[in-house]
Amino acid sequence: MNHRILTFGIIILFLCFFGSFTGVPNIFDNQENFSCSFGGVLADSSIVPEITGLSMTVPDHVQAGTYLRIVDILRNQGLHASGPFSIGYVLEDPLGVFKERMLGTVTIQNLVRGGQKKINTTFPVPPDIRAGNYMMTRLINPEESLSEDSRKYLSGGKKELKILDYSEGLTGYTDDLIYSGDAGTLLIRSTITNTAGQDPIETKISYYLSQSGLISDDLISLGESDNLIVPVDEQIRVDSTLSLPEDIPDGEYFLISAFLPLEMVSDDSSLYWVSEEPISLSVTIPTQVTSVPDVVPLSSSIEPDIMTVKTDYPDVMYIGESSKITDSITNIGSSTAGIVRVEYLLSSDDDGSDARHLDWWTLHNLKGGETRTGQVTVGIPGGTHTGIYYLTKKITVTSSPPEKNTANNFWTGNRPVRIEYNPSARIPDLTHVTTKFPCAQPGDTVEITDTITNIGNACADHTQVAYYLSPYASFDPSTARYLGVWEISRLCVGEQKTNTITVSVPADLSNGEYYWFSVIDPCTFMPYCGDEMPELDKSNNINIGRLYIGPCVFCGC
């Protein structure tokens, strides 16, 4: 028996030794190739999975400096599962004039025999790529393609793609930044405009922090927005809530937003922009609150005692739409609370005053020491003004015995919530394009020329643009003098209207500095005026100009 085992072992070693020469035929036809080692039998790492492309869809053309969407369907035609592999998407010039460019790779962990995989992804198109006609090809495991001869192209056809010159028609700027130190988040609101005059553009925004505001210095990457489609000659708004790194040093940082990853962007490119002012960051990530915190002792009283444990709510809520709130309520008393009603309100003040009812959550028979968690849907009423608010709760208990300690029945969130209209809602948004304020002296009759446009999603009817003069830089109708009004019967999406109005400067003005105001929909700022016009954004409704009365050599007007 031992003699037979020894003989078989010698035969195996003989086959392994001679199998390393190319002249020996492969005796494992239609099977995986194997190599021998004294440590065991190993799968040959040179095996290329038999992957083929069934279809690849790309647009006819794409503009440099934007994103290219590729929809590709792959199939494993081999006899075995593929294991991990990657597909590289390459732009090649069939005439050999332009340099080829690797757009990116997609990694697939495994495809079983006969398995198919649909890839739907986007890759940034470098802004410096030469305009022209290219072929989109696929390489399998491109990191292993060390030379032209070793390239492993994926079967399944190529696609023609025309690259258009980079155009500066895509522009963006940041409207607002809301920093929440407790949550360690940054809410960023941006506006993107496509004036390239060709096609809708697909893009996304990459966000970075920089203490110097320079893209050449050390950058802190915050993440990306979702993929965006910007129609021709239109604007869209983008809201992104990003988590800040817990180890970010405290200090002031500029926000850098870019349409492409910054490693692809030059210093003088219009594909990125920097926030006007730095924002002061000091991140303190709070510890997670358990469902029943140990620090809350049970009451020794026989009555129920209801309080809030934890409330999670979104950073942005939309007017006329519903939002989800996840809430935890506990009874730290000793007896059951029969009916517990939690009223949700919205307050414009962080002390919870001036609160407006949103909705209710009703619980029955909340036992002593019990905590319940639920998800409540609340709606933001129509007619709510856009702005910063605070979520407020008021708890009432109907029970026998009744609740005596009601001091912990009120709660106001320490993190503000922004109330606004959904950017996709059919609502207008009027804003100034230009306003030309005149120089003047007391008693003069002068002209103000104003151009207004609608960047919203619906036409605006019966709009007023009112004009005022005030000694204060902040508009307040109680301290400003009314000069006149421009009535606009209808202004539709993308439309502009220009008007020149004649106003009289009050004759009793003394020497000093004054401020012109052009105010779209003045009822927004006057509670006694009447119904205001709904708009996606009210922050762009006022234009301001200076007026100097008296001698001032360098003041201008």
Instruction: Please answer whether residues 228 and 170 qualify as being in contact, where contact means their C-beta atoms are separated by less than 8 angstroms.
Output: no
User: CA 83, CA 74: separation in Å to the nearest integer?
Assistant: 14
User: CA 121, CA 337: separation in Å to the nearest integer?
Assistant: 53
Give the Cβ contact number of residue 136 at 10 Å: 19
When comparing pLDDT for 551 and 527, which is higher?
551
Residues 120-140 have pLDDT tens digits of 888 999 988 888 899 999 888
| Cβ-Cβ contacts under 8 Å for 372 (sequence gap 6 or more) | 328, 329, 330, 363, 366
- For residue 182, the model assigns a pLDDT of 58
Radius of gyration for the chain, computed over Cα atoms and rounded to the nearest angstrom: 33
Mean pLDDT of the region 467-484: 90
End-to-end Cα distance, the chain: 111
Q: How confident is the model at residue 22 (pLDDT cuts 50, 70, 90)?
A: very low
Question: 153: which DSSP letter?
Answer: B
Instruction: Please answer whether residues 211 and 254 qualify as being in contact, where contact means their C-beta atoms are separated by less than 8 angstroms.
Output: yes
% pLDDT > 70, the chain: 83
Instruction: Tell me whether strands 61-63 and 159-164 are parallel, antiparallel or unpaired.
Output: parallel
Question: b/e string for 292-309 if b means 16 or more Cβ within 10 A?
Answer: eeeeeeebeeebbbbbbb
pTM of the predicted model as reported, rounded to 2 decimal places: 0.45
- For residue 67, the model assigns a pLDDT of 92
- For residue 542, the model assigns a pLDDT of 93
pLDDT at 373 over 80: yes
The listed range with the strongest mean pLDDT (346-355, 456-465, 524-533) is 456-465
Residue-range domains of the chain with CATH:
51-164 (2.60.40.10), 170-281 (2.60.40.10), 306-420 (2.60.40.10), 430-549 (2.60.40.10)
- For residue 38, the model assigns a pLDDT of 33
Instruction: Please answer whether residues 100 and 153 qualify as being in contact, where contact means their C-beta atoms are separated by less than 8 angstroms.
Output: no
pLDDT at 300 over 60: no
Collapsed DSSP state (helix, strand, coil) of residue 439: coil
- Lowest average pLDDT, out of 22-36, 281-295, 390-404, 486-500, goes to 22-36
Residues 315-365 have pLDDT tens digits of 888 888 888 899 999 999 889 998 899 999 998 887 777 788 888 898 889
Q: How confident is the model at residue 553 (pLDDT cuts 50, 70, 90)?
A: low
Biggest CA-to-CA distance, the chain: 123
- Lowest average pLDDT, out of 153-167, 386-400, 488-502, goes to 153-167
User: CA 322, CA 249: separation in Å to the nearest integer?
Assistant: 37
- For residue 145, the model assigns a pLDDT of 58
User: CA 227, CA 77: separation in Å to the nearest integer?
Assistant: 33
- SS3 assignment for 218-246: CCEEEEECCCEEECCCEEEEEEEEEECCC
pLDDT at 236 over 80: yes
When comparing pLDDT for 157 and 286, which is higher?
157
- For residue 226, the model assigns a pLDDT of 78
- For residue 134, the model assigns a pLDDT of 92
pLDDT at 175 over 50: yes
When comparing pLDDT for 99 and 502, which is higher?
502
Mean pLDDT of the region 406-431: 86
- SS3 assignment for 483-512: EEEEEEEEECCCCEEEEEEEEECCCCCCCE
Residues 376-413 have pLDDT tens digits of 888 888 778 778 889 999 999 988 888 988 888 988 88
Q: Please give the mean pLDDT across all residues of the chain.
A: 80
pLDDT at 295 over 50: no
User: CA 405, CA 4: separation in Å to the nearest integer?
Assistant: 90
Q: Which amino acid is at 231?
A: P
